[in-house]
């Protein structure tokens, strides 16, 4: 059989021919193209030095094809890097456009500015409507109740409406979170993480006016969490919400009648500012390392929820519209009796809920730096 292409007479593929084999990509400058050639040459030279023997066993024709495939992959990686760079710039652009809206929202929530009150249209009087109660002598026409400023408990209500955040807030926390005025998010330099700032009004619980949580990422696009830092809360005496004091009465006949007290850690939203830390020097066993990684992932889940859901859609969480939108995505759960056998056992609903929670946790995986 005659080979009309003359491929049998072609010389073996040479590294110097690599530039000519690269396909043209729109928008790729000559400098970028030259850089790709050099990168690809380095890769091929590295592979040539490996002892697997497979690539070395390939014919010159196949090696040439592999080289072109690698060039395509390298050009793809360059374009992907540009995509991430442009996406970061686009996010930064719109973040600046969001800021004035967040500022106006904070001003209204905290009563810095007010909005024009539009009274609802008067409805036709009901036939059996009871007469209005007479005003007290000397009282103004409107109720004497002191007018509320802003929107009370805005952030507390918004966070409690979210399923993830609701599990973090204890009943004791609610009293302190009523003083929360605003939450802001900002990216760290080079997008290597983000920072959450919680602004509080003066309150009886702690002296801080701003509590900060910072997430340091190795690669924000992945994301890979390296560590998290939080503000040390300056609690007022006897107001620490992250601890509880237990008292034990002395036994009858004991020398002292003074009760024994001890302090224990307790669940609280404010533990969020004391995130799990990776030991620097001490070696830890595998089980401890896995447990620590789980805690770090859970902590990141809370932080990313605040960043991605609570802050940008706080009004919708406050009104409950965001919750309704999430419920709208629930799949059709109608079933037929024929789907089940008579011998099927019934299971406790709480156990099923736990299984559902595990499935939800598997939907979004956050990578944590290996310990």
The model's pLDDT over 129-170, given as tens digits with 9 standing for 90+, comes to: 344 444 444 444 444 456 788 999 999 999 999 999 999 999
Token pair in block for residue 55: 């690539």
> Would the pTM count as exceeding 0.75?
no
Instruction: State yes or no: pLDDT of 352 exceeds 60.
Output: no
Tell me, rounded to whole angstroms, the distance of Cα 310 from its chain centroid. Answer: 10
pLDDT range class, residue 18, cuts 50, 70, 90 = very low
**Rounded distance, CA 324 to CA 339, Å?**
29
Question: What is the predicted pLDDT for the residue at 371?
Answer: 56
Tell me, rounded to whole angstroms, the distance of Cα 154 from its chain centroid. Answer: 20
Question: What is the predicted pLDDT for the residue at 121?
Answer: 64
Average pLDDT, the chain: 76
Per-residue model confidence as pLDDT tens digits over 31-82? 555 555 555 555 555 544 555 678 888 999 999 999 999 999 999 999 999 9
Residues 6+ apart with CB under 8 A from 276: 228, 292, 295, 296, 299
Per-residue model confidence as pLDDT tens digits over 287-314? 888 888 889 999 999 999 999 999 999 9
Please state, as a whole number, how many other Cβ atoms lie within 10 Å of the Cβ of residue 278: 15
In the chain, beta strands by DSSP E: 180-187, 193-200, 210-219, 224-230, 243-248, 260-265, 367-368
Average pLDDT (220-239) is 86
Instruction: State yes or no: pLDDT of 318 exceeds 50.
Output: yes
Cis, bond preceding 223 (omega within 30 deg of 0): yes
In this structure, what are the phi and psi dihedrals at residue 14, rounded to the nearest 5 degrees?
-110, 150
**Percent of the residues in the chain that have a pLDDT greater than 70, as a whole number:** 63
Token pair in block for residue 186: 């900002």
Sheet architecture: strand order including 210-219: 180-187, 193-200, 210-219, 224-230, 367-368
Assess contact for 48 and 55: CB atoms under 8 A.
Answer: yes
**Rounded distance, CA 15 to CA 24, Å?**
18
Assess contact for 275 and 296: CB atoms under 8 A.
Answer: yes
Please state, as a whole number, how many other Cβ atoms lie within 10 Å of the Cβ of residue 355: 10
């Amino acid at each position: 059989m005659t080979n009309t292409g003359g491929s049998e007479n072609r010389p073996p593929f040479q590294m110097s021919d690599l530039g000519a084999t690269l396909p043209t990509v729109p928008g790729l400058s000559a400098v970028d193209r030259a850089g790709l050639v050099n990168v690809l040459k380095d890769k091929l030279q590295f592979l040539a030095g490996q002892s697997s023997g497979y690539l070395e066993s390939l014919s010159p024709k196949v090696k040439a094809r592999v080289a072109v495939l690698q060039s395509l992959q390298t050009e793809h990686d360059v374009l992907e890097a540009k995509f991430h760079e442009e996406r970061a710039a686009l996010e930064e652009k719109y973040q600046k456009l969001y800021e004035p809206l967040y500022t106006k929202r904070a001003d209204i929530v905290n009563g810095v500015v007010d909005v024009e009150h539009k009274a609802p249209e008067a409805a036709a009087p009901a036939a059996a409507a009871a007469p209005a109660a007479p005003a007290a002598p000397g009282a103004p026409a409107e109720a004497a109740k002191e007018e509320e400023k802003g929107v009370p408990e805005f952030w507390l209500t918004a966070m409690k409406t979210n399923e993830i955040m609701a599990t973090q807030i204890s009943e004791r926390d609610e009293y302190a979170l009523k003083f929360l005025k605003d939450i802001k998010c900002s990216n760290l330099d080079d997008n290597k993480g983000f920072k959450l700032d919680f602004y509080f009004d003066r309150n009886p619980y702690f002296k801080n006016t701003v509590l900060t949580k910072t997430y340091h990422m190795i690669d924000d696009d992945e994301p890979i969490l390296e560590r998290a830092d939080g503000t040390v809360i300056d609690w007022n005496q006897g107001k620490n919400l992250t601890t509880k004091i237990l008292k034990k009465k002395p036994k009858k006949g004991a020398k002292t009648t003074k009760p024994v007290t001890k302090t224990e850690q307790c669940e609280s939203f404010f533990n969020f500012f004391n995130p799990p830390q990776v030991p620097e020097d001490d070696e830890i066993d595998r089980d401890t390392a896995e447990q620590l990684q789980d805690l770090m992932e859970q902590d990141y889940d809370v932080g990313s929820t605040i960043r991605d859901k609570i802050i940008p859609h706080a009004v919708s969480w406050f009104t409950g519209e965001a919750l309704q939108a999430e419920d709208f995505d629930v799949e059709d759960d109608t079933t037929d009796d024929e789907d089940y056998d008579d011998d099927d056992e019934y299971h406790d609903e709480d156990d099923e809920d736990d299984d559902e929670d595990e499935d939800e946790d598997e939907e979004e995986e956050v990578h944590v730096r290996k310990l």
